[in-house]
Amino acid sequence: MRFQILSTRKFLLAVIFAALFSVSISAQDATWQKDLATWRTDHTADLLKPDGWLSLTGLEWLQPGDNPIGSATDNKIHLAASPAHLAILHLEGETVMLNPPPGGFPKDLLVAGAPAEPQSLRAEANNDKVSPHLTIGTLNMYVIRREARFALRIKDSHSPSITGFHGLKWFAPDSSYRVTAKWIPYSPAKTITLVTLVGTNYDEPVPGAAEFTLAGKTFRLEPVVEDAAVAKLFFILRDTTSTTTTYGACRFLYTGFPTNGVDKPGELVLDFNHLENPPCAYTPFSTCPLPPQGNRLPIALPVGEQRYHD
């Protein structure tokens, strides 16, 4: 009798523990799904910002000498939403000068928030954050540099892509595509050359590799570090869904640093539900990097963001 009572107690305790474990797992899954939904909302909001990627309406490559900008037909760079003659960008060697058009700068043209005046415009290779912005009305413009080439990137807060936005498409969340990878640091870190959709290329540091198992097979992905001051890894990758349901060139995945930093072995969570489209999936005026050969996976990742345009 005593044995039966003990057995019954053990059974009840096992049932209770199993129930508590199930509740814990369910709570974790609910939290994960909530965080994923929040991330999707934030991602959409970023795209729709007045200077987000959906505002991008032009990419005009500068020619040596004068590059007049404005709505008049005699300008090399035609902007329908600007005054007839807005400004002149003069390219000489590696210097881009902002000069006034005949009649002077429009009074409401600002450079980095100040009234426009003749000046050299800073532009560093593949580092657009340092470029001063030229703003007038709904337009927001800045000079970018890709290798030895310079271009004027043009954004409009009332772009057709923003006013005609029809929502993003997503795969259903799937926690089985949230994996813990082994972080393998490179000592020393290596450098990789990334090729872009517009035919340029640039170098980025690769601090290591993330090794993970999915669908019974082991894979490696190499991230780059875009900004040494930010603890973030940037994975540019492609999988077999690119031929059917996701953007053909690639998708992006951003993560934090591994558990022990990038310099030591550790672990790194790769949640492929956070795969997002590159800017070039929304606009032809972006200069997106393509995935390195080792980041082209021979498996499907049916999670994250789907194609924006059919």
Q: Which of 26-35, 97-106, 138-147, 277-286 has the lowest mean pLDDT?
A: 26-35
Question: Which residues does residue 99 pair with via DSSP β-bridges, in sequence order?
Answer: 88
Distant-in-sequence, close-in-space partners of 10: CB < 8 Å, separation ≥ 6: none
**DSSP-assigned letter for residue 124:** B
Q: Lowest-confidence range among 89-98, 222-231, 238-247?
A: 222-231
Query: What token pair was written down for 133?
Result: 């912005």
Answer yes or no: are the C-beta atoms of 53 and 279 closer than 8 Å: yes
Task: Provide the pLDDT for residue 22.
Answer: 46
- pTM score, two decimals? 0.86
What are the φ/ψ torsions at residue 194 (nearest 5 degrees)?
A: -100, 135
Environment class of 275 (CB within 10 Å of its CB; exposed 0-12, middle 13-18, buried 19+):
buried
Task: Give the residues across from 62 on adjacent strands.
Answer: none
Task: Calculate mean pLDDT across residues 246-270.
Answer: 97
pLDDT digits (tens, 9 = 90+) for 46-94: 999 999 999 999 999 999 999 999 999 999 999 998 999 999 999 999 9
Residue 227: is its pLDDT beyond 90?
no
Q: Is the pLDDT of residue 18 over 60?
A: no
As a whole number, mean pLDDT of residues 4-23 equals 53
**Rounded Cα gap, residues 66 and 290, in angstroms:** 32
- Contacts of 211 by beta carbon, 8 Å cutoff, 6+ apart: 181, 182, 183, 184, 218, 219, 220
Q: Which residue has the tokens 């390219």?
A: 91
Q: Report the pLDDT averaged over residues 290-308.
A: 97
Using the 8-state DSSP alphabet, how is residue 128 labeled?
G
Quote the pLDDT of residue 26.
75
**Nearest partner of 258 among 181, 204, 189, judged by Cα:** 181
Mean local confidence (pLDDT), 161-179: 96
Distance CA 292, CA 222 (A): 8
pLDDT averaged over the chain? 92
Percent of the chain scored above 90 by pLDDT? 85
**What domains lie within the chain, and their CATH numbers?**
53-163 (2.60.200.20), 168-295 (no CATH)
Question: Is it the case that residue 110 has pLDDT exceeding 70?
Answer: yes
